[in-house]
Structure 1
Amino acid sequence: MQHPVEKFPDSATLAAELASRIGHLLADATTVRGRASLAVSGGSTPIPLFERLAHLDIPWEQVVITLVDERWVEPTSTDSNEHLVRTHLLRDRAARATFIGLKNQSLRARDGETGCEEHQNLVPRPFDVLVLGMGSDGHTASLFPGADTLAAATDMLSGRHCIAVTPVAAAHERMTLTLPTILDSHQIFLHITGQEKYRVLEKALAEGPAGEMPIRYILRQNLTPVTICWAP
Structure 2
Amino acid sequence: MNLIEYADREMMMMSLANILAGELGGVLRQTGRASLSVPGGTTPGPVFDLLSAVDLDWRNVAVFLNDERWVGEDSPRSNTRLLRQRLLQNKAAAAQLIPLFAEGVAQPEDALARLSDGIAPHLPISVLLLGMGADMHTASLFPGADRLAEALADAAPAVLPMRAEGAGEPRITLTAPVLRGALHTHILITGADKRAALERAANLPEDQAPVRIVLADATIHWAE
TM-score by length of 2: 0.96
Question: Counterparts of 1:155-174 in structure 2 under 5 Å?
Answer: 155-158=153-156, 160-174=157-171
Give the alignment partner of residue 4 of structure 1, picking from 2, 5, 12: 2
Q: Report how far residue 155 of structure 1 moved.
A: 0.7
CA contact (8 A) 2:21 2:54 kept: yes
Give the paired residue count: 223
Give the alignment partner of residue 176 of structure 2, picking from 150, 175, 179: 179
CA distance in 2, matches of 1:184, 1:98: 21
Give the alignment partner of residue 191 of structure 1, picking from 188, 191, 212: 188
CA distance in 2, matches of 1:200, 1:34: 38
Question: Counterparts of 1:1-232 in structure 2 under 5 Å?
Answer: 3-105=1-103, 106-122=105-121, 124-158=122-156, 160-205=157-202, 207-219=203-215, 221=216, 225-232=217-224
Give the letter aligned to residue 179 of structure 1.
Answer: A
**Uncovered stretches (5+) of structure 1, i.e. residues with no partner:** none
CA distance in 1, matches of 2:186, 2:219: 5
Q: Report how far residue 208 of structure 1 moved.
A: 2.5
Give the letter aligned to residue 168 of structure 2.
Answer: A
CA distance in 2, matches of 1:67, 1:101: 8
User: Runs of 4+ in structure 1 displaced over 3 angstroms?
Assistant: none
CA distance in 1, matches of 2:139, 2:94: 25
CA contact (8 A) 1:75 1:103 kept: no
Q: Report how far residue 28 of structure 1 moved.
A: 1.4
Q: Report how far residue 8 of structure 1 moved.
A: 0.6
TM-score by length of 1: 0.93
CA distance in 2, matches of 1:227, 1:214: 16
Farther-moved stretch of structure 1 (109-118 vs 183-192) = 109-118
Q: Report how far residue 88 of structure 1 moved.
A: 0.3
- Deviation track 1:84-134 (CA, whole Å, cap 9, x = no partner) reads 100000001110111112001321012221111111124x22211000100
CA contact (8 A) 1:144 1:167 kept: yes
CA distance in 1, matches of 2:179, 2:4: 21
CA contact (8 A) 2:180 2:213 kept: no
Give the letter aligned to residue 139 of structure 1.
Answer: H
Q: Report how far residue 76 of structure 1 moved.
A: 2.3
CA contact (8 A) 2:141 2:173 kept: yes
Q: Report how far residue 209 of structure 1 moved.
A: 2.4
> Is the partner of 2:136 in helix, strand or coil?
coil
- Deviation track 1:124-175 (CA, whole Å, cap 9, x = no partner) reads 22211000100011100000000110001111123x1100000122210000
**Uncovered stretches (5+) of structure 2, i.e. residues with no partner:** none
Percent of residue pairs identical: 36
Give the letter aligned to residue 44 of structure 1.
Answer: T
CA distance in 1, matches of 2:20, 2:90: 17
Q: Report how far residue 177 of structure 1 moved.
A: 0.5
CA distance in 2, matches of 1:218, 1:28: 22
CA distance in 2, matches of 1:7, 1:157: 35
> Is the partner of 1:5 in helix, strand or coil?
strand
> Is the partner of 1:44 in helix, strand or coil?
coil
Give the letter aligned to residue 47 of structure 1.
Answer: G
